[in-house]
Each structure stands twice: as structure tokens, then as C-alpha cells.
Amino acid sequence: MHMPYDDPTRQEPLKYIVMESNLLIAEDICGALLARGPCRLVKVATHEELQDVVTPGGPVAAMFLEMRFDDLMASPVYPALLLTGAKIVLTVGEDDEAAVLDQGWAMLVRPFTEDMIHGSLRTAVREI
């Protein structure tokens, strides 16, 4: 499957989706992503809002999701998330880290630093 971050001819900035209910944490994640260079950020606070912004096949580099592994796997939006080509970074549920890593995703354990956000991208998005 072709991934959006594999395209060397890509002209558009990378797109990231951040689903986080805590405004300060959302701003920290977004600030760290913007520090890496131009990008498109979509911030949502709830699972319902996430369903509204995910377009199957719409290229997304990575999603930072305030969801536990089991909740994501059972979510009706899960198939659409996979079709975006995004790598998933979960920000809660560190007890599920082994299962998250088995999926090829990343876990961002709270409290986190900007360096930890960047590190999760290195493991999640091959371009970075």
C-alpha cells in the first residue's frame, strides 16, 4: 500500500490529526509538530469529531489519539483510519504498549516532552 509519507514528489505539507480532550496537551503536541516544519494540523477533542474529519483514503502522515488500544480497535472509525495511510500514535493506555508496537504504531507515554513527541514520529513515520 502506498503511504503518503513515501512519496518523494509530494508537494503538500504533511497532515497530522490530533485527538486530545485537554487543550494544553493538544497545543503541546501541535507545537512540537509545527517545530518540525510546515504541516497541516487538524485538532479534535472527541471521538465523534474524529469521525467527522477522517476521510478514508485521505492521506494523513500520523494521528495522535487519546484512545486506549482496545477502544481504538473496537471503534467504528478504525477501518477509515487505516485507509488514510496514517501511522497511529496513542497517548493513553501505556499498559497496552506491547500490543500497540505489534501493530507498528507508537505510544506516547504521559507526561511527555517535545523530544518524546519527535521520537514517536521517528518510530511511527518513516520519512521523519
d(CA 73, CA 30): 24
User: Residue type for 53, please?
Assistant: V
Does pLDDT of 92 surpass 80? Answer: yes
pLDDT in tens, 15-34: 999 999 999 999 999 999 99
Whole-model pTM: value is 0.86
What is the CATH class of 16-124?
Answer: alpha beta
Local confidence band at 8 (pLDDT 50, 70, 90 cut-offs): low
Residues 6+ apart with CB under 8 A from 126: 3, 5, 6
- pLDDT score of 10: 55
